[in-house]
Amino acid sequence: MEYLWAFLIGGAICVVGQILIDKTKMTSARILVLFVVAGVVLGGIGLYPRLVEFAGAGATVPLPGFGNLLARGVKQEIDQSGAIGILTGGLKSAAVGIMAAVSLSFLASIIFQPKAK
């Protein structure tokens, strides 16, 4: 049953993104930023962690999950280090994911020789 809920919740997030692409004049980049900010806000007020408990990877893998990860990191770092945690918390919590994205993107650029349009 966990897999079904993960699939349905993750799919619903993707459907919202597709509707925004089809029905608005927002660019893909703005929609991505909207999703991350929504994850930060929902994580900050405590709603997104409930969704993560319910849907698991269906809520943590999409972009709002990244925003929630940033908000959670900031909260934890503020509790431990004070106000400096506002600057360091998000980066500490998402460091592995950011490093993997940058490293794998660099590796892909070496292998596939991208060309500017």
CB 52 within 8 A of CB 46: no
Q: What is the mean pLDDT of residues 68-95?
A: 89
The chain-wide mean pLDDT, for the chain, equals 90
Q: Is the dihedral of CA 80, 84, 90, 94 positive or negative?
A: negative
Confidence at residue 33, expressed as pLDDT on a 0 to 100 scale? 94
Amino acid at 109: S
Whole-prediction pTM value?
0.79
Q: What is the mean pLDDT of residues 1-10?
A: 92
CB 48 within 8 A of CB 39: yes
pLDDT tens digits along 19-47: 999 999 999 899 999 999 999 999 989 89
pLDDT tens digits along 46-71: 899 899 999 998 888 888 988 998 89
35, two tokens: 């999703």
Enumerate residues 6+ apart whose C-beta is below 8 A from 36.
63, 64, 66, 67, 70
